[in-house]
Amino acid sequence: MVELGLPLGQPAGDSGSCGSPTRHLHESYILGELLGRGATSTVYKCLFKGKKECACKILKKSVLDRRRVESELPDLRELRHPNLVEIRDVFETADALTLVMEWVSGGELLERIAERGFYSEQTAAKAVRQILSALQCLHSRGHAHRALRPEKLVFASEAEESPIKLLTPGLGVSSLLPTAPPYCAPEANKGAGAGPASDMWSLGVTAYILLCGFEPFSGENGSASEPLQPHALHFPAPWWDEVSDSARDLVTQLLQTDPAERPTAEEALQHPWVRGDTPRSQHMDATVRSLREFNARRKFRAATQAVVATQRLVSPEKRLSRVLGQVSPQEETPPHVHDDRPGRC
């Protein structure tokens, strides 16, 4: 558990190259509310010198590939792109790597789409174009994101024309912790590792959701009770009846099981649908309704995961006492739980 105000600078004697041996987080930043907690990281809101808002992501070093982090992080710190969340500072301790990142406050992409009054393929194409631009920047520098999914896509601010930002890449997270299905590409599921082509698969799944409101490779309208064969792509009626052939063509290209058959980010940026030449302008009312249901399911899963994470903070002895009726939940002090918004972690 991270205590507020605890120095998180690199301890003396630790010669790691990711952080500074003489600087400490608490000297410049004040940790605030907990924004999210995942299997590999925890994210807090923080203030730089008590004024400028930032996000502080604390990653467990036990799940990081040290060589990959050391080779990628220095370059990622230097990346500046309008659709990538900036890494502004790095600190290191014996068991954690802390990233101070640009603050984004516009909310998740899918949630904002579901809340707006009008949504068309043109809006979806604009979103995909921005995501591709971020991926093209990463891939051109030899990096892959490895964790692309809707929760990683947020708006910089609440302004109407705010750009979409892609949250930080996987940063060397072990291949034992792949992106969750169906966003994890077939080759990554088979242990071949995730690279730029795997990001294109994840983008294909995201684009599919943007166009119909539910995930591919499941039953109609995302029903888990009607599973399809793995990677058997189809466009079920009536949800896809009004989607353009050009949009279907892009999704089909991105969701090729052979990574060599998928377009690169640079190639996909030239697709007529992505360029804005062919997307339809009609309101997609059915998609918006489906997205609202999809977001509700995601929130339910996130809430369930938060309960599980909270239970892990309770000692085995206290859990046993609860079962035996020796201690009531009111008699023990619960952990302080903050808003656990997906996409912040």
Angstrom distance (rounded) from CA 328 to CA 345: 32
Q: DSSP secondary-structure letter at 233?
A: -
Q: Are 19 and 10 in contact (CB under 8 A)?
A: yes
User: How crowded is residue 142: how many other Cβ atoms within 10 Å of its Cβ?
Assistant: 11
By the 10 Å C-beta count (0-12 exposed, 13-18 middle, 19+ buried), 182 is classed as buried
Two structure tokens written together for 344? 């912040």
Cα atoms found within 13 Å of the Cα of residue 287, Cβ hemisphere only: 24
Residue at 146: amino acid letter: R
Q: Which residues pair with 64 in a beta bridge?
A: 173
Give the helix/strand (H/E) hosting 200: helix 196-212
Known binding positions for ATP: 57
Strands 87-92 and 153-155: unpaired
Q: Which candidate, 84, 64, 207, places its Cα nearest to that of 139? A: 84
Two structure tokens written together for 255? 């969701």
